[in-house]
Amino acid sequence: MSTQKKILITGGAGFIGSHVVRLFINKYPNYQIYNLDVLTYAGNLENLKDIENAPNYHFIKADIVDEKAMLDLFAEHKFDSVIHLAAESHVDRSIEDPLAFVRTNVIGTVNLLNAFRDTWKGNFEGKLFYHISTDEVYGTLGATGLFEETTSYDPNSPYSASKASSDHFVRAYGETYGMPYVVTNCSNNYGQNQFPEKLIPLFIHNIKNNKPLPVYGDGKYTRDWLYVVDHARAIDTVFHDGKNGETYNIGGFNEWQNIELIRVLIKQMDEKLGRPEGESEKLITYVTDRPGHDRRYAIDANKIKNELGWEPSVTFEQGLSITIDWYLANEEWLNNVTSGDYQKYYDGMYAER
C-alpha cells in the first residue's frame, strides 16, 4: 500500500492534466488529489466525469494568478506535493496575446512556488514541486540532432518563452530555497480530450465535417508525437522515482513531418468513415505560415528510459486510431467545446490566412 500524500494537481481539467488526475485517482487510492483549475476555454470538467465522485478526488476552482488565493489555499491544505500543469498552452494564441501567457505561465508559477515555499519554510523532507514543461523551450532544430536535457534554452514563441521563464524560476527556487523539484520537458501530445485548436483534434474535426485542413507553410515542419496516456505514465514515473533537481525529456521516439502525419490521419479517417481511400486529401489547404514557426522538434528520451525505465506503450498508429475512435464516439463533447467562443476563435485565426 502506498503512503498517504496530499497532491495538488494544477490544470487538471485540461487535456494532459485530466489524464494525470485519472491515473493518480485510480492507481493511488491513498493519495488525496486536489485538482485546481480556473476552467478557461481549455478546461472542462466533462473530461473527469468518470472519477468525479471518487473519495480521493477534490476540485478547487481557482486562478493561479491570484497570489492571495494561492497563499490561502496552501495555508489551509498544506499540500505536500505539487504537479503543475496549469498553463496557457497554444502557440497561436500566444502570438495574439503574449501577456496572457506571462500572467498564467510565469506569474502563476511563481505564485505557486511562493505558496509552497511559505508553507514548508525550509522543512522540505518528503515534499516535491513537479513542473511540467515542453520541448519547445529548446527552440528549433535543423535537419539532424535531438534535444538533450543539456540543450540550451532558445525559445522562439511567446508561449515557449513563458514556459522557459517558468522552468528557470522552478530551478532558481530549488537553488535559492532548497525546494525539492523536478522538471520534465515533453514533446507534442495527442489523444482523447485535446481541445480542437491543436493540429490533430482540429484536423479530425475538420475531416469529419469535410472542412479545409489549414496546413501552415510548406507542411514540412517536424514534431515528435506522444500519446497522452503515455505522458501521464511518464509523469507518474518521474513523480515517484525522479531525482531531486533533475530534468527529464519525455518523447515518443516518433518524428513526423506535418504533411506526412496528416496523410496517415486522412488514411485512418477515410477508412473509419467509410470513404474511398485518400478521399479527404482534397481538403488539404496550404495557408500562410505561423510567424516564428519552429522547423523541427525532436526529443532524445533515453534518460528517462534508461534511468527510470519508462517508454511509450503504444505505437503512433495505435494511439492515433484510439484517438480518432474517441472523437468519433464523443460528438457531444466536441459539439460542446466548439460551440460559443470557438467559432469566433476559429474565424479570427484562419480567416486571414
Contact residues for ligand TYD (CB under 6 A)?
A: 91, 188, 198-199, 202, 214-216, 221, 223, 258, 290
Q: Total residues at the site for ligand NAD (CB under 6 A)?
A: 30
Grid-cell match 531525482, residue found = 243
d(CA 270, CA 25) in angstroms, rounded, equals 36
Grid-cell match 473509419, residue found = 272
d(CA 353, CA 351) in angstroms, rounded, equals 6
State residue 81 phi and psi, 5-degree precision. Answer: -140, 150
140 binds, among ligand NAD, ligand TYD, none (CB under 5 to 8 A by kind): none
Q: Name the minimum Å distance from CB 21 to ligand NAD.
A: 10
d(CA 207, CA 237) in angstroms, rounded, equals 36
Residue 256 to residues 18, 121, 252, 260, 291, Cα–Cα distance (Å): 26, 46, 11, 6, 21
159 flagged as catalytic: yes
93 binds, among ligand TYD, ligand NAD, none (CB under 5 to 8 A by kind): none
Q: Is 65 in the site for ligand NAD (CB under 6 A)?
A: yes
Of the candidate spans 22-30, 50-58, 187-195, 312-320, the one that interacts with ligand NAD by CB under 6 A turns out to be: 187-195
Beta carbons within 10 angstroms of residue 93's beta carbon: 19
Q: Is 37 in the site for ligand NAD (CB under 6 A)?
A: yes
If the CB atoms of residues 64 and 283 are measured against ligand NAD, the closer one turns out to be: 64
User: Which of 5, 33, 63, 200 is in the footprint of ligand NAD by CB under 6 A?
Assistant: 63
Catalytic residue among 130, 159, 173, 227: 159
Q: Name the minimum Å distance from CB 14 to ligand TYD.
A: 14
d(CA 154, CA 192) in angstroms, rounded, equals 30
If the CB atoms of residues 8 and 283 are measured against ligand NAD, the closer one turns out to be: 8
| Active-site residue set | 135-136, 159
